[in-house]
Amino acid sequence: MTACNDSLRGKVLAHENLAKYNSWRVGGDAERMYIPADKQDMEQFISGLSVDEPVFWLGLGSNLLIRDGGIRGTVINVRAKVKQMNLLSDTEVYVECGVASAHVARFCTEHGLAGAEFLAGIPGTMGGALKMNAGAFGGETWNLVQSVEMMPVGGKIRHAKMNEFEVSYRTVKNVANNCFLSTVLKLSRNENNNGQEQIKKLLAKRALTQPTNQPSCGSVFRNPTNDHAARLIEASGLKGYRIGGAEVSEKHANFIVNTGGATAADIEQLIEYVQSEVASQQGVKLRTEVCIVGDKLI
């Protein structure tokens, strides 16, 4: 827990239900949620926490399965206020962790910058994109990163260059229990001024191939080397397979959708069933891309 601090300006919510804060629309309660007033307020709150306080940082709640028993400790909700973004130079952009990735894509194109268009297809915040090296349409977040601000629970802010991290497909090492507070992205000038057109094409492709009109987390499984999780799942005859209110999407096999009334347990059981069937039929053990957190109901 944190010591009482009258100078904090954020909001504390007790036993806040998390289903409305994630894209699958499932999950239990946060024991405690803190909604910071801004980045500085969040830094002050984090620095005052005990080092052994369980902390989970929540953005847009995509790529996330929160179990029905909820999350113990403190959930810090960054998406409401921690979202400053501005140009530092002709090719550098400062972005706080709560800014939606899609907003970064639009901001960059509006300012004549190229390279961030793929972020329009990532349904989360920059904090989450940094944490997992999120990607879409062949682009990856850390290909743009020049530097980051990080902060551990109960600790102090640390500035780090991108070459201090070991980054690979959907993985960033050397992060430990740190929150990414902000990043500086390095881009190039768009001489053709066609960024908005590229984003429209990418989003049209996404709408055509993904179940964007149903609650999901995005891609559930990582693509194996030289293959695609969706192909393996479809080849195993699992499109449309359901457990409770959770269903393997008929539109894209690497998506699990909440058809209405699904529980986190339904979704997790379906994830495990898909893994088991693909391993049995295709000889491939699928690894989850989605982050599964919280406690199961007993």
CB 289 within 8 A of CB 63: yes
For the four alpha carbons of 20, 23, 28 and 33, in that order, the dihedral sign comes to negative
Contact 10, 49 (CB under 8 A): no
Two tokens at 81?
């206020």
Angle formed by the axes of helices 195-209 and 101-110, nearest 10°: 150
Cite the active site residues.
170, 219, 289
How big is the CA angle at 36 (ends 32 and 42), to the nearest 5 degrees?
A: 100
Tokens for 131, please give them.
């944490």
Cα distances (Å, whole numbers) of residue 25 to 5, 12, 156, 224: 33, 22, 34, 28
The DSSP element (H or E) to which 200 belongs, if any, is helix 195-209
Decide: helix, strand or coil at residue 121: helix
